[in-house]
Amino acid sequence: MLVPYIFFVGVLPLVNRVRPVVLGLPFLVVWLLGATLLTPVAVWLTWRGDHRGGRR
């Protein structure tokens, strides 16, 4: 669960750039969109790992 936090807050000062432009959007917007899409995946993987660990 630390990965989404690092993507949103920890790396933000490093990616706070207008250029380069990716698909017509500033890099920061693309980075935040990617982090937003990665967060549910990270939560699901955490849930899956916790759920499997409890079934022993």
Taking the C-alpha atoms of residue 54 and residue 39, their distance in angstroms, rounded to an integer, is 23
Taking the C-alpha atoms of residue 42 and residue 47, their distance in angstroms, rounded to an integer, is 9
- Domain residue limits, the chain: 1-25
**Per-residue pLDDT, 37:** 92
Burial bucket for residue 30 (CB in 10 Å: 0-12, 13-18, 19+): middle
HSE (CB half, 13 Å, CA atoms) of 29? 9
What pTM was estimated for this model as a whole?
A: 0.69
Q: What is the pLDDT of residues 5-40, one digit of tens each?
A: 888 888 888 888 778 898 999 988 888 899 899 899
Integer angstrom CA distances of residue 21 from 24, 26, 28, 33: 6, 5, 9, 14
